C-alpha cells in the first residue's frame, strides 16, 4: 500500500558510502574516543625526547622505531571499538542480513576506521618527528610510510577485532593477536625511514609495505567477514 513508492534500492557503492558516512558521523558525535588515540600517539612520542635529553644523534637513530611503535599502539587502542558497539546494539546482525555483501560493509568500516584513527597519525607525524631532529626528507618518508602502513594496520586489526568479538577480556587478547601481525608493517615502515636517513633509499621498503597493503586489502575483509559470522552464530 505504501512502501514501494517511497524507496529505491541504492547501488553497491551506495552501501559502501553509507557505512563510511555513518561511522564518520558516529566518530564526530563521540569525539573523545577519536582524540584519545591521537593524544596517546602525541604523548608517547613526546615522552622519549624528554626522557633521553637533547642527544640529537641518539634521537635521530631511535626516531623511526619510536614513531612507528607508537603508531601501532595508538591504532590498536581504537580497534576494540571497531565492531563492539555494532555487536552490542544489534546493528551487526542487520549487516549480516543485508543483501549487500558483508565484505563490502566490513571494508566500509575499515575505511572509516582508517580515516578516524590512521589518517590523523599520518598528518601529525612530521610535527612530532621534528622533536627527533629528522631531516625534512626523512619526515617526508616517515609520512609516506605511515600513509601506506596505517591502512594496513586497520585491515589487520579488523581481523583481530572480529575474532575477539564477544570474548570476555577481549581487549588483552586483541593485543596479543594483532601485535604479532603488525610486525612486518613495523619492520618495513620503520625500515623505510632508517634506510632514507642512512642514504640507502626508501623505495625498496616502501614497495614491500605497499605489497603487504595490497595483500591485506584483498584478504583481510574476507577473513574479518568469516570471523564475524562465527561470532554472531
Partner 1 sequence: MLTATDLACVRGDRRLFAGLGFTLESGGRLHVTGANGSGKTSLLRILCGLSPAEAGEIRWQGETIADLGDEYRKTVLYLGHHNALKEELTALENLRTTAALAGVAVADAQGVELLERVGLAGREELPVRFLSQGQKRRVALARLLWSPASLWILDEPFVALDSAAVTWLAEIVSGHLRGGGMAVLTSHQEVAIGGGVAQTLKLSP
Write down the least CB distance from residue 92 to partner 1, Å.
9
Minimum CB distance to partner 1 smaller for 166 or for 180: 166
Minimum CB distance to partner 1 smaller for 6 or for 198: 6
Write down the least CB distance from residue 221 to partner 1, Å.
16
Distance CA 114, CA 111 (A): 5
Write down the least CB distance from residue 217 to partner 1, Å.
22
Mutual angle of helices 102-113 and 136-163, in 10-degree steps? 140
Phi and psi at residue 90, in whole multiples of 5°? 90, -5
Write down the least CB distance from residue 74 to partner 1, Å.
23
Write down the least CB distance from residue 31 to partner 1, Å.
11
- Classify residue 98 by its DSSP letter: S
Where do contacts with partner 1 occur on this chain (CB under 8 A)? 1-4, 6-10, 14-15, 18-19, 21-22, 25-26, 29-30, 85, 88-91, 93-101, 105, 232-233
Sequence length of the chain is 233
Minimum CB distance to partner 1 smaller for 50 or for 97: 97
Tell me which H or E stretch contains 164.
Answer: none
**Residue 182 exposed, middle or buried by CB count within 10 Å (0-12, 13-18, 19+):** buried
Minimum CB distance to partner 1 smaller for 31 or for 50: 31
Minimum CB distance to partner 1 smaller for 101 or for 126: 101
CB count, 10 Å around CB of 7?
8
Amino acid at each position: 500500500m505504501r512502501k514501494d513508492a517511497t524507496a529505491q534500492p541504492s547501488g553497491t557503492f551506495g552501501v559502501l558510502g553509507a557505512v563510511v558516512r555513518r561511522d564518520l558521523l558516529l566518530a564526530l558525535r563521540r569525539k573523545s574516543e577519536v582524540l584519545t588515540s591521537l593524544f596517546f600517539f602525541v604523548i608517547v612520542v613526546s615522552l622519549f625526547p624528554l626522557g633521553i635529553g637533547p642527544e640529537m644523534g641518539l634521537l635521530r637513530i631511535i626516531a623511526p622505531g619510536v614513531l612507528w611503535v607508537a603508531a601501532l599502539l595508538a591504532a590498536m587502542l581504537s580497534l576494540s571499538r571497531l565492531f563492539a558497539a555494532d555487536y552490542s546494539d544489534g546493528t551487526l546482525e542487520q549487516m549480516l542480513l543485508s543483501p549487500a555483501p558483508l565484505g563490502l560493509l566490513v571494508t566500509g568500516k575499515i575505511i572509516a576506521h582508517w580515516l578516524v584513527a590512521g589518517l590523523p597519525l599520518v598528518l601529525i607525524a612530521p610535527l612530532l618527528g621534528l622533536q627527533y631532529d629528522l631531516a625534512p626528507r626523512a619526515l617526508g618518508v616517515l609520512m609516506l610510510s605511515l600513509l601506506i602502513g596505517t591502512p594496513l594496520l586497520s585491515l589487520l586489526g579488523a581481523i583481530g577485532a572480529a575474532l575477539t568479538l564477544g570474548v570476555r577480556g577481549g581487549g588483552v587478547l586483541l593485543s596479543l593477536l594483532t601485535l604479532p601481525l603488525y610486525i612486518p608493517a613495523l619492520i618495513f615502515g620503520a625500515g623505510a625511514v632508517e634506510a632514507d636517513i642512512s642514504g640507502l633509499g626508501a623505495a625498496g621498503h616502501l614497495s614491500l609495505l605497499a605489497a603487504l597493503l595490497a595483500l591485506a586489502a584483498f584478504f583481510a575483509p574476507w577473513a574479518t567477514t568469516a570471523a564475524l559470522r562465527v561470532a554472531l552464530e
